Amino acid sequence: QQPVQSPQAVILREGEDAVINCSSSKALYSVHWYRQKHGEAPVFLMILLKGGEQKGHDKISASFNEKKQQSSLYLTASQLSYSGTYFCGTEMVNNYGQNFVFGPGTRLSVLP
């Protein structure tokens, strides 16, 4: 089952902050975040593992609350280059391997 993301879309002015949320009805053991710019392939941003850790990538950081089965991506002082669609994803590990499931995405537009 796909993770749920909110909001579906957000429009910001350069320099503003944004939060993108990801939640799952199934237990999350890890959360992956990817960004896809228009017309391009998705690019890995970061992974969060069990333990409630927070990671960062420049002015983009994320948190993971495994008890609530939620993750949030924080974009601080947004830049024009942050525009794109953000996907969260998680691995479903079974006897055969690792099935990977992405959320539907959140479209972020940063305006000058």
107 contacts 7 by C-beta, under 8 angstroms = no
Q: Is 100 in the site for another protein (CB under 8 A)?
A: yes
In this complex, which beta carbon is closest to another protein, that of residue 16 or of residue 107?
107
The torsion region of residue 66 among left (phi > 0), alpha (psi -120 to 50) and beta comes to alpha
Q: Is 42 in the site for another protein (CB under 8 A)?
A: yes
Binding letters toward another protein, positions 76-95, x by CB under 8 A = -----------x-x------
In this complex, which beta carbon is closest to another protein, that of residue 6 or of residue 99?
99
Its sign, for the CA torsion 110, 88, 22, 103, is positive
> Coil, helix or strand for 33?
strand
Contact footprint for another protein (CB under 8 A): 2, 30, 32, 34, 40-44, 47, 87, 89, 96-105
